[in-house]
Amino acid sequence: MLNNKGYCSPKSREIVLKAAKDLHYTPTHAARSLKSKKTNKVLMCVPDICNPFYFKMIKGVNDILEEHDYFMLLCYTRHSTRQELKLIQVLNERYGDGMILISFDFNEKIISSVRDCPLPIVLTNKYDNEKMLDNFDYVYVDDRKGMYLATAHLIDQGHKDIALISGSRSEQVGRERTDGYSCALRDTGIPVDESYMVESDYTREGGYNSMKKLLSRKKRMSAVVCSNDLAAIGCMEACYESHVNIPDDIAIVSMDNTDYCTCTRSALSSIDMQQEELGRTAASLLMERINEGRKRKKTIRLEPELVVRNSSHKALS
């Protein structure tokens, strides 16, 4: 009666609806879920809720979910494999109908757990040991190419002594971005110098401390590629504190192209990693699995784009 199904006399219906209104009755979502076997919720797992990289991705996901009357449950994984595994188990317990999983490192434990999950999951990067019959999708922006473009841009500007502030090379994203940097150097005959390479943690503080290390060394670089915009902002702060001018003394290029790039003293050149489209595509793939029952695996690659601003220009002769 309350959901307009089945026959009921107008008088009886009026009595029931008045009672429901007087008692402030609303149908429970849990009861509906039991009947429909759907929660109309999707888990979105994010490693760092303070990183602006994810803001547009979250918007992209939410835009698509709203079109399908779905809600997002935002889950903070703290950059932790253990927490990611825990949330996959939460999905197994039917807290949602599917998951979008963002990780810095789709390692063997994560992929094994994803393969064992009966509910749909979409990853936001490639992974090792890919199988054609895998029961999940992935969409990604090529990290190697992104870092290659950033480094090649500095080389085109005449820089040869180019440092790298990367993420941890023990993780997938850190390795891929370091590979892109190294390939760009090798392709133009510039030796890869390990003394120019510093590992950081994608934070402003990490970028600041890493740049301080580089500036303290006798061997001075003319340019730096940073793993992301937050690290680049910290890098810039270290330069200004040491009276190093950007871009005249040191040119800087970053990854992510967040809104922060235009808020720095010297507007930051950065690689656009298509965050909003990444989110929209991941959510669309997930909805195909949930609503249409698609079984065939899909993989989608998005292209990074260089956005040049004031922080990088031709090396001074």
CA distance 13 to 19: 10
- Alpha helical stretches, state H, 166-315: 172-187, 204-216, 229-241, 275-292
222 and 244 Cβ atoms separated by less than 8 Å: no
- Alpha helical stretches, state H, 23-92: 29-36, 53-67, 81-92
Q: What is the pLDDT of residue 41?
A: 97
Q: Which domains, and CATH codes, for the chain?
A: 38-141+275-304 (3.40.50.2300), 143-272 (3.40.50.2300)
User: 197-226 pLDDT, tens per residue?
Assistant: 999 999 999 999 999 999 999 888 999 999
For residue 159, the number of C-alpha atoms closer than 13 Å in the C-beta half-sphere is 29
281, pLDDT greater than 90: yes
CA distance 181 to 155: 11
Q: What are the φ/ψ torsions at residue 142 (nearest 5 degrees)?
A: -65, 105
CA distance 142 to 303: 7
CA distance 314 to 153: 10
H-helix or E-strand spanning residue 17: helix 10-22
223 and 154 Cβ atoms separated by less than 8 Å: yes
CA distance 6 to 16: 14
Q: Which residues contact 61 (CB under 8 A, 6 or more apart)?
A: 42, 44, 72, 100, 279, 280, 282, 283
> What average pLDDT does this structure show over 146-165?
97
Least confident of 16-20, 80-84, 266-270: 16-20
* Percent of the chain's residues with pLDDT above 70: 90
157 and 312 Cβ atoms separated by less than 8 Å: yes
Q: What is the DSSP letter of 190?
A: P
Secondary structure class of 302 (helix, strand, coil): strand
5, pLDDT greater than 70: no
